[in-house]
Amino acid sequence: MTRLSVNINKIATIRNARGGNMPDVTKAAMDCERFGAEGITVHPRPDERHIRYSDVLAIRPLVKTEFNIEGNPIPRFRELVLKVRPDQVTLVPDAEDALTSDAGWNTLANRELLTGLCSEFKAAGIRVSIFVDPDPEMVRGAALCGADRVELYTAAYAGQYAAGREKAVAPYLEAALAARECGLGLNAGHDLNLDNLSYFIRTIPWTDEVSIGHAIICDALYMGLENTISAYLKEIRKK
């Protein structure tokens, strides 16, 4: 069954807008789990504009489900991951000034780097997922690097969904089949929401995990966090 990992970056963004500790990011992580989330995701960036490195250290011992840290593996990030030892690290090639993640890895061109990272993190007992575009060659490249999973970058699927969901999901299905053939686990994330989530999961039911943050927090403004997480779990489990 596909697991829901809630990305709490946007909660930290609201806190940072005013300073202080409102909302409390640590409490939010625990509440998300209490409301049914099956994992917590954080994406610390070098400028700490949302999740701070100190948040990651505070949250880690409190997470009872799965803890996923994602980000560009610059030296400081690598040090944090090895110190915290999350259940999963997701390697994302975002630039330091990126507003949000906007592309997956070229796993062929970056094979030496990614192979070294996979070896380093797996030796520490951390599952490694590589963020890729829906391209079977990039998926196969991730397998060659020693990854445990890939995370498919789903922005294009979400953007094209309204115009034709079958066409929008087709490259993702092809990439997901390649992942299964390579023995890789499969995650997905970026712009998934209550409108497009269920169809994606029904088309690719072997998806291990979806990581969703922005849409959940947007919906929570109207529905409340507990009701929103429940609604996303319902969409994931819809037959």
Residue closest to 168 by CA, chosen among 121, 203, 127: 203
pLDDT at residue 94, rounded to an integer = 80
pLDDT at residue 100, rounded to an integer = 61
- Residue 20 corresponds to which tokens in the numbers above? 């202080």
pLDDT at residue 171, rounded to an integer = 98
pLDDT at residue 103, rounded to an integer = 83
pLDDT tens by residue, the chain, 239 residues: 999 999 999 999 999 999 999 999 999 999 999 999 999 999 999 889 999 999 999 999 999 999 999 999 999 999 999 999 999 999 999 866 665 666 899 999 999 999 999 999 999 999 999 999 999 999 999 999 999 999 999 999 999 999 999 999 999 999 999 999 999 999 999 999 999 999 999 999 999 999 999 999 999 999 999 999 999 999 999 87
- State phi, psi for 214 to the nearest 5 degrees: -55, -50
pLDDT at residue 99, rounded to an integer = 57
* Separation of alpha carbons 115 and 102, rounded Å: 22
pTM for the full predicted model: 0.95
Q: In b/e form, how buried is each residue of 199-227, taking b as 16+ CB within 10 angstroms?
A: bbbebbeebbbbbbbbbbbebbeeeebee
Q: Tell me the Ramachandran region of residue 71: left when phi exceeds 0, alpha when psi lies from -120 to 50, beta otherwise.
A: left
Largest CA distance in the chain: 48
CATH number at residue 25: 3.20.20.70
Query: Please, what sign has the CA dihedral across residues 22, 26, 32, 37?
Result: positive
Number of domains in the chain: 1
Q: Is the peptide bond before 73 cis (omega within 30 degrees of 0)?
A: no
Contact 148, 117 (CB under 8 A): no
Q: In b/e form, how buried is each residue of 53-88, taking b as 16+ CB within 10 angstroms?
A: bebbeebbeebebbbbbbbbbeeebbebbeebebbb
Which residues constitute the domain of residue 73? 3-237
Strands 185-189 and 149-153: parallel
Catalytic residues: 43, 70, 190
